[in-house]
Structure 1
């Protein structure tokens, strides 16, 4: 997946940029890959679109129904309150024998506050196609376990992960996640894209499992490309939005990232709602403050390699180029990952800890 190093990259302001590594698929524009918390890696003139948060496109759950027995409604309310900021709609529906059939197709994901056997028996006859069926997760009354039953790569794993905020342990059984790797659908979600040809993911997820999937290749149009059945094609969910390019000293915290990002967005009269995803260098994977800040923004993190950043070096001088050969990460990431490779806001520094630039 992504390389995990602790090297740091110092720019002209004294702030240090860190980074991480890649993986693969084909997008409508560069090379990229994403990681579980919504991160991706991008290569060679890439668009960081490769693998945190999209529409209800069959890969991401945004509208949820919590199915609960009457005696467990207090716990259902607790779940709803805990997940309220993460989803567009959360309804609580009291259980009866035909509840799943009655509401099938109305929600992206059902959270069954019940024994897994009940949910399995009631939903099994309704299942048709994994790309169209709602995801199903079960959680026990004590919020000890969150178990995706179906649609792990189509929203269930994400919901189970979010339930961990309430203390539940997410029990993933999809092969890539069970092996500590990120499936293709999760990578697509991380950079606000969706999978166009779902059948291809059998092969590409197997490649993820075997560590054979390279970076996501970006192809800018107008163009035409011929691919075989084992190439997964990703397409952006939106035609607008900006990318935050960011670097930091090792250990910068969530508040420092958020403060820097919001200041840069304010300068361009933008808000977090305008951000497609965050881009940084491959050496930044695992930087917890960055991941926490991106999660608060509701976006993914894309990691770009050295060659990609050198191709899109920004205008602000950076000492890191002469010291270790890397360009300033904030501007280069914003340019490389942006759909038009343009800077909206040049590099800004906060607390000598975080650098940020805004790209389009």
Structure 2
């Protein structure tokens, strides 16, 4: 996690240096800045511009900001740049004596609460966290989703689930992967299609007893194998992926990466599709694809051109570390698609 720390006094500079050294133990990368003209050390970069301008830059460049000073300075500095909990960085305030460590912004998804607790332990400060689920020691959906790399379908529903748990009521949960026997307080495991599901964890959609109040948590575990004719448009690829996902009840948010043969490494349509959806693109040689074990659809035509009997299925399995092929080759519009899913599980610790 990349953090920018700014201080305003000589004491703050000294404390900032200590914080940087202590957080290195937990693999945080901290860069020191100061607005104090009486610099005692060259360890901190003096900020010539206004604190508001500096804060705006740090909102774009870092994952967290630590203000060593007054809460009022921090609040006024960050106010113009606030967007939402998915985009705002973690913001923490530490007084320049190191007595209090306050989680000010993005406590859950941004990681400010976790960082506050870690930092407080390291410098023997008192952590100040005001998030209700933390204070009441209740399951927090957004924290759980972040730790397990799950995409939430609706942040508003996540708040509703937290409210239900805080009210002492039960939340029905289902997962396509195995869940531990002992779940956090308030969560009740139910079987798919047996009762209404509040929280669904998996790669499939619209197969169970859902309505608009079901929150879907989607693991990014699918590798999408693609083959296509030369100069195939990205719109054509996108349209076919959407169609295939819909027909097979697959949540497209579960797609982690796109793979193909190295002959397609500069295929414009595939590259544009990957850029649009922020997906990595990997390619393999025909020798690598031919070594993949499994039963695959075979095409003499494809083999004559590429040197391998099937591109999309073999590359999907190889890219997913020999994962399970959940969608065999589908062909349309000059595009072939296949999907493989790697092993996954969730952790409540």
Query: TM-score, structure 2 length as denominator?
Result: 0.47
Q: Which has the larger radius of gyration?
A: 2
